[in-house]
Amino acid sequence: MSSKTNERVVVIGGGAAGMSAAAKAKRGNPSLEIVSYERSGYVSYGACGLPYAIKGEIARVEDVVVRTPAQFAKQGIAVFVRHEVLAIDPSAGALTVRNLDSGETFVDHFDKLLIAAGGSASRIPVPGADMPGVFTLRNVEDALAIKAWLGDMRPTRGVIVGGGYIGLELAEALAAHGVSLTVVERLPQLQPSLDVEMAAHVQAELERQGVDVRLEHGVEGLSGDERVREVTAGGVRFPAEIVIMAAGVRPSVGLACAAGVALGPTGAIAVDDHQRTNLPGIWSAGDVAESLNLVTGKPTWVPLGTTANKQGKVAGENIGGGDARFGGIVGTSVVKIFDIAAASTGLSEARAQAEGFAVKTVSATAGSRAHYMPGHQPIHVKLVYEVGTGRLLGGQLVGREGISKRVDIIATALHAGWTVEQLSELDLAYAPPFSPVWDPILVAANLAKK
The whole-angstrom separation of Cα 264 and Cα 259 is 15
For position 404 contacting its own copies by CB under 8 A, the verdict is yes
Of 394, 404, 448, nearest to 425 by C-alpha is: 448
Cα four-point dihedral sign 413, 414, 420, 421:
negative
State yes or no: residue 311 binds its own copies (CB under 8 A): no
Q: Of 8, 27, 33, 48, which residue is the catalytic one?
A: 48
E-assigned strand segments in 144-290: 157-161, 180-184, 212-214, 219-224, 228-233, 236-239, 242-245, 249-251, 282-284
* Positions of E strands within 100-156: 105-109, 112-115, 119-121, 134-135
Q: Which of 333, 348, 361, 396 binds its own copies (CB under 8 A)?
A: 333
Q: Should residue 336 be labelled a site residue for its own copies when binding is judged by CB under 8 A? A: yes
Residue 357 Cβ vs its own copies, minimum distance, rounded to whole Å: 19
Which of 36, 284, 435, 448 touches its own copies (CB under 8 A)? 435
- By CB under 8 A, what part of segment 251-310 binds its own copies? 294, 304-307, 309-310
25 binds its own copies (CB under 8 A): no
Return d(Cα 175, Cα 181) in angstroms, integer: 7
Q: Pick from 25, 329, 359, 381 the residue near its own copies by CB under 8 A.
A: 329
Binding mask 62-91 vs its own copies (x if CB under 8 A, - otherwise)? Answer: -xx-x-------------------------
Single out the residue of 243, 206, 251 nearest to residue 223, CA to CA: 243
418 contacts its own copies (rule: CB under 8 A): yes
Does 408 bind its own copies (CB under 8 A)? Our answer is yes
Q: Which C-beta is closer to its own copies: that of 109 or that of 371?
A: 371
Residue 196 DSSP SS3: helix
Smallest distance, Å, CB 160 to its own copies? 18
- In whole angstroms, how close is the CB of 416 to its own copies at the nearest point? 4
- Is 48 one of the catalytic residues? yes
In order of 249, 351, 386, 419, the CA distances from 416 in angstroms are: 30, 20, 15, 9
**Pick 338 or 357: Cβ nearer its own copies:** 338
Burial of 379 (0-12, 13-18, 19+ CB in 10 A): buried
**How far, in Å, CA of 223 to CA of 128, rounded?**
6
Nearer to its own copies by C-beta: 261 or 448?
448
Q: Out of 151, 323, 429, 450, point to the residue binding its own copies (CB under 8 A).
A: 429
Q: How far is the CB of 57 from its own copies (least distance, A)?
A: 6
**Torsion-angle region of 32 (φ positive above 0: left; ψ -120 to 50: alpha; else: beta):** beta
Q: Is the dihedral of CA 75, 70, 51, 38 positive or negative?
A: negative
* 237 and 230 Cβ atoms separated by less than 8 Å: yes
Find the binder of its own copies among 19, 411, 445, 448 (CB under 8 A). 411
Three-state secondary-structure class, residue 165: helix
Q: Which of 402, 419, 443, 444 is the binder for its own copies (CB under 8 A)?
A: 402
User: Between 107 and 416, whose beta carbon lies closer to its own copies?
Assistant: 416
21 binds its own copies (CB under 8 A): no
Asked if 193 is part of the footprint of its own copies (rule: CB under 8 A), the reply reads no
Residue 264 to residue 256: CA distance in whole angstroms: 12
Per-residue contact track with its own copies, 39 to 58, x per CB under 8 A?
-------x-xx--xx---xx
407 binding its own copies? (CB under 8 A): yes
Nearest CA among 269, 263, 275 for reference residue 289: 269
134 vs 342 by CB, closer to its own copies: 342
Question: For its own copies, which residue of 215, 270, 426, 447 counts as binding (CB under 8 A)?
Answer: 426
User: Could you tell me which of 217, 148, 206 has the C-alpha nearest to residue 181?
Assistant: 206
Backbone angles phi, psi at 147, to 5 degrees: -65, -40
Query: Which of 105-113, 211-219, 340-348, 380-388 is the region at the interface with its own copies (rule: CB under 8 A)?
Result: 340-348
The answer to whether residue 341 forms part of the interface with its own copies (CB under 8 A) is: yes
Interface residue with its own copies, options 189, 191, 345, 348 (CB under 8 A): 345
Q: Does 372 bind its own copies (CB under 8 A)?
A: yes
CA atoms of 323 and 304, how far apart (whole Å): 24
**Site for its own copies contains 400 (CB under 8 A):** no
Q: Is residue 200 part of the contact set for its own copies (CB under 8 A)?
A: no
> In terms of residues, how long is the chain?
450
3-class SS of residue 2: coil
CB closer to its own copies, 155 vs 164: 164
Active site residues: 48
Positions in the binding site for its own copies (CB under 8 A): 16, 46, 48-49, 52-53, 57-58, 63-64, 66, 294, 304-307, 309-310, 327-336, 341, 343, 345, 370-374, 402-409, 411-413, 415-416, 418, 422, 425-435, 437-439
